[in-house]
Amino acid sequence: MENYNTLLIFGYGQTQLITDTDSKIVNSDELLSLNAVINDIYSKKPLENNSQQDYIRIAIYNNDFSDWVNGNPNDYFKVPYDELNKALIDSLVLEIKNI
Amino acid sequence: MAVTSVTTTMAGAINYSVVTDTSADWSSVSNSTYFYDKADKLVHYKNSSGTILEIFTQSGLTYFAEAQNTSSPNATTPVDSLTAVSSETNADFAIIPKGNGAIIADIPDGLVSGGNKRGTGAVDLQLSRLSNSDVASGNNSVISGGYRNRAQNTDASIGGGQDNTASGTQSRVGGGLSNTASSDYSTVGDGTSNVASASRTTVAGGSSCTATAYAASTLGGFGNSSSTSYACNLGGISNTASGEGSSVVGGNGNVASGSYSLAGGTSSVANSYGSVVFGVGGNANSVRNRNVFANATTGDAQKSTFIFRQRTTDATLTTFTIEGTGASTTNQITLSNNSGYRFKGTIIAKQSGSTNVSAWDIDGLLVRGANAAATTLLIGNVTLVQNTPAWGTPTLAADTSNGGLRIQIQGAGATNIQWVANIETTEVIYA
């Protein structure tokens, strides 16, 4: 499992990886493994939540949870980390580290 | 009133020889006599000096009086009370467990009803649980009240509220709903669904706010994230402070991802070291120390201010950058694709240990097409203000490698000169 603290995916087009020792910002369109992570999180949206698949920020807090923020409090949702596809996240973290 | 002599012979008990009706009769009792008083239903002793000594008190308590109050509004749920009755005007009331015992409001039974065993020295006054682990299980932890709260680590505390968890050492949740303070010295003051998950983090209130890196803080708002060390969100909605020591002061959807950057307004992106972005839709475009004010969609209509600072020690032609290092996309006036920049500014230089100083005004027009190579300087004027020391005149050109404006400066041999430029740009992006 890749080591990181927080992964932030911004709607304006950048993705930020935060570790204990580094903060790295890359353009999201360079990341081949990004959409799979986004789709995985969105697919775990609670049934009663009506959020569209747009976002201002998607945060993944390692071993804690992911939250989806699009500026409308009613559309906010959280997914427990245990429910996320860790293999997809690992691939994304590794891809960012290797840029 | 009566004083009656009796004979009692109860083995192992105090045998009194006199019975009184009330305390008014006690003066008539002989010295060195045990007697029973019908009014208070207690045995007393009158010693050889005539002093009445209390052998027992009601309920076995000397300094407290117990009572039950059933008066309105306590008719349905009476109040049973214990009141300090010291003869002094004021008296403290201490509840002191023995050894490592806790002060608790339920008897632990490992079930929902009583909960798990509390931590040593804990104070747990919570009366309602959904789980047997909804208790103050940390040593010296505190739950003052509420429902389904958990104080799980040493010295952790929860004031009240519901579904709150304080699981870090010396962590604290004041109240609210579903808040979590999960690292050492972390705090959530109030609000709902807030998380303070790294050491020394604080979420003061709001909803769905996070502080997830060392000493980060979020004051309130909704969905705000402070996710790198020392980052801070003051409020607003959906803001992110993710650069070390960065801040978002409020607004909606702002990002301060550069170290020590500052953002506010709406959809502002301060994504470079020391950048400041306010207004609507401004973007620092990863250029450090850039100050932006915008009325834009992702930087397509904004103004910026750049401060350059560099030193020369010889006459080498040097590319002038914001922080005086090798030229790159992050330390010059770098354009976005399909953008045009009108720029105006001043370059000033001063020699160390001397009053030698020179200055030039610059202005121009720069355009960039679909990529960096398609960058063209259409106008580039350098106007002399004064150059008495006769240092090299700055030059302007398009930087087609980095897609921006290249400014070059030239000092003098064996001369320490500090160069500063203040340049403002008016920017448009339109593909």
Averaged in consecutive runs of 10 residues, what is the pLDDT profile of chain B (431 residues)? Answer: 78 82 92 89 88 73 85 92 90 94 96 97 97 97 98 98 97 97 97 96 97 97 96 97 97 97 97 98 97 92 97 97 95 97 98 98 98 98 98 98 98 98 98 95
Question: Residue B262 is part of a domain; what is its CATH number?
Answer: 2.150.10
Are B220 and B136 contained in the same domain? Answer: no
Give the pLDDT score at B11. Answer: 66
Distance from B252 to chain A by nearest Cα, in Å?
7
Q: Does residue B320 share a domain with residue B419?
A: yes
Domain extents for chain A? 6-98
Task: Say which amino acid occupies B57.
Answer: T
B240 in any annotated domain: yes
* Contact status of A79 with chain B (Cβ, < 8 Å): no
- The pLDDT of residue B14 is 76
Q: How many domains does chain B have?
A: 4
Is residue B76 included in any domain, yes or no?
no
Res B253: pLDDT: 95
- Pair (B283, B228) in one structural domain: yes
What is the pTM assigned to this prediction? 0.84
For residue B92, being part of any structural domain is answered with no
B309/B417 same-domain check: yes
pLDDT at B12: 65
Same structural domain for residues B325 and B344? yes
Please name the helix (run of DSSP H) or strand (run of DSSP E) that holds residue A47, with its range, or none: none
Residues of B in contact with A23 (CB under 8 A): 228, 242-244, 257, 259
Residues 5-44 of chain B whose Cβ lies under 8 A from any Cβ of chain A: none
Domain encompassing residue B348: 303-429
Distance from CA of A70 to the nearest CA of B (A): 7
B410 and B337 fall within a common domain: yes
Residue that is last in its domain, among B167, B192, B217: B192
CB pairs under 8 A between A and B: 86
Residues (pLDDT < 50) of chain A are none
Cα(A77)–Cα(A63) distance, rounded to whole angstroms? 17
Residue B333 falls in which region: left (phi positive, over 0), alpha (psi -120 to 50) or beta:
beta
- A67 and B CB contact within 8 Å: yes
Q: How many helices and strands (H and E) does chain B possess?
A: 0, 38
Residue B72 belongs to some domain of the structure: no
ipTM score: 0.88
| pLDDT score recorded for residue B107 | 95
- Do B160 and B204 lie in one domain? The reply is no
Helix axes A34-43, A86-98, angle to 10 degrees: 150
Task: Identify the domain boundary among B283, B299, B315.
Answer: B299
Query: What CATH code is carried by the domain that includes residue B368?
Result: 2.60.40
Q: Do B208 and A67 touch (CB under 8 A)?
A: yes
What string of DSSP letters covers B147-174? BS-EE-STT-EE-S-BS-EE-STT-EE-
Amino acid B362 reads I
Does B94 map to a domain? no
Residues whose CB falls within 8 Å of the CB of residue A22, separated by 6 or more in sequence, listed in order: none
B227 and A18: CB-CB below 8 Å? yes
Strands (DSSP E) contained in B281-356 are 291-295, 301-312, 317-319, 333-334, 339-351
Show residues of chain B in contact with A56, CB under 8 Å: 238, 253, 267
The pLDDT assigned to B59 comes to 56
Residue among A8, A14, A71 whose CB faces B238 most closely: A71
Cβ neighbors of A12 (< 8 A, separation 6 or more) are B255, B267, B269, B283, B298
